Amino acid sequence: MVGLSLSKPIGHGRGVVNDTIFREYDIRGKVGQELIIDQVYDLARAIAYYFKTHNQNVKTIAVGMDGRTHSPAIKEELCRALTDSGINVLFLGICPSPALYFALYTQPIDGGLMITASHNTKEYNGIKVCLGTESVWGKELQIIKQLYKEKKHVDAPRIGTVRNFPIIPLYLDYLREQFADLNSFDQKVIIDCGNGAAGTVLPQLIEQMNWKNITLLYPEVDGTYPNHEADPTVAKNMQEVKRLLQTTDAAFGVGLDGDCDRMAVMKKDGTLIPGDQLLAVFAQYLLKEHPKAGVVFDIKSSLGLTELLEQWGAQPIMSPSGHSIIKDMMRKHNALLGGELSCHFFFKDRSFGYDDGIYAMLRFFEIVQQTGKSPVELITIFPPKYSSPEFRLACPEEKKNLIVERLKEYFFRQKDGRIITIDGIRVTFPFGWGIVRASNTQAVLSMRFESDSKEGLKKVMNRFETALEPDLPHEALRTLQQYKETL
């Protein structure tokens, strides 16, 4: 039985939600400061109005939620608003975001709302919005913001109903059917659920698959995240996995984020594999079945990934970062695979094309089982590069886009690099490349730098530091300088 720890919900009070919660990919903010629970009803009425204006035949919407302490209170307001708008609600229970996406493709429903703030800290919560099988994001969320401000709502002739429909059993059936060959998987693996929604699935999956060598960490769903933040791509959050890898005979580790739409892999030596290298591994094996397939990757990805995809005959497609954008790009180009440095992975060869950390983990297990190779051996395909980690440097929300615009002006004046501005600014010099972009989910600037040589990497970083120095906070600049000193 999966445990659920709920403390008293916070965030009740008068007021209006803050404009900043309407982000690029979802609605998300600090509960009680930016996202006011007493205003969720009006917000959800606006979402219902949006649904009805885009599809007047909308009848049933699925609602799922993660284990955050305020998720039940938000769920109550959402359901009340939807039913008052004449829409029926299929409540999926506590589940991963991918389980809600799975429901969109397999149940007779017209859209979905997932209550989650993904990997953000416990103070945050939010809503991912889907109409049909597609995410509502970007300008469409700004339309919902305006509808909320105008207090738009549907005058319904009848009240909708709420029906409990636990999705986890069906989702488990799907995973078992897809990965029947993994019944014999006997690798020793440490999996960190991070007290997130993975705990609603993995204990049962491990039992049903009869895996004897899996060690599961923190499967108790607990929205206070007592052990670490639910972001496995940050090394400090995988310290217990690292300790067990170094003190036991486990082969590798896996971490899942708060709502299970991302999956990170840790090698035996305790280092994390970057998402672009994992994407290369997935691509190599997918392309054996689907030569020349399109592969979408985000703008932060290594040049080594592009080189490999071209070498293998794939169609490489660079995209702005963001899970909603990647899905859109995959649809547009009929691509079969997508991925991000941040470890979102999207498979459309044998699945539906949404980001699912548990599904991606099972695809990785499949490759390990079929090849007999360790993660370290699998990533030897990747061309040797000197790549920095992704730096996520704190920057005030109101300044981050301004800094990126000033960077663009600076490098356009320099005229000595090839510039891509589909998401922030990526500049390629003869000696390497770098990118700076404003995060769409946090008050940070995201940066990454790469070269074929250590000296080239330092040179790229120097170019960006010079450009950033007038605007970037001193602590952020110092972080870049300290990293250079380790090279």
Residues recognised as catalytic:
118
Which of 278, 301, 310 is closest to 449 using CA atoms? 301
Which of 17, 124, 104, 117 is closest to 63 using CA atoms? 104
d(CA 280, CA 258): 24
Which residues lie closer than 8 Å to 315 by C-beta, 6 or more apart? 292, 293, 294, 295, 309, 333, 335
Q: What is the 3-state secondary structure (H, E, C) of the chain?
A: CCCEECCCCCCCCCCCCCHHHECCCCEEEEECCCECHHHHHHHHHHHHHHHHHHCCCCCEEEEEECCCCCHHHHHHHHHHHHHHCCCEEEEEEECCHHHHHHHHHHCCCCEEEEECCCCCCCCEEEEEEEECCEECCCHHHHHHHHHHHCCCCCCCCCCCCEEECCCHHHHHHHHHHHCHHHHHCCCCEEEECCCCHHHHCHHHHHHHHCCCCEEEECCCEECCCCCCCCCCCCHHHHHHHHHHHHHCCCCEEEEECCCCCCEEEECCCCCECCHHHHHHHHHHHHHHHCCCCEEEEECCCCHHHHHHHHHCCCEEEEECCCHHHHHHHHHHHCCCEEECCCCCEEECCCCCCCECHHHHHHHHHHHHHHHCCCHHHHHHHCCCCEECCCEEEECCHHHHHHHHHHHHHHHHHHCCCEEECCCCEEEEECCEEEEEEECCCCCEEEEEEEECCHHHHHHHHHHHHHHHCCCCCHHHHHHHHHHHHCC
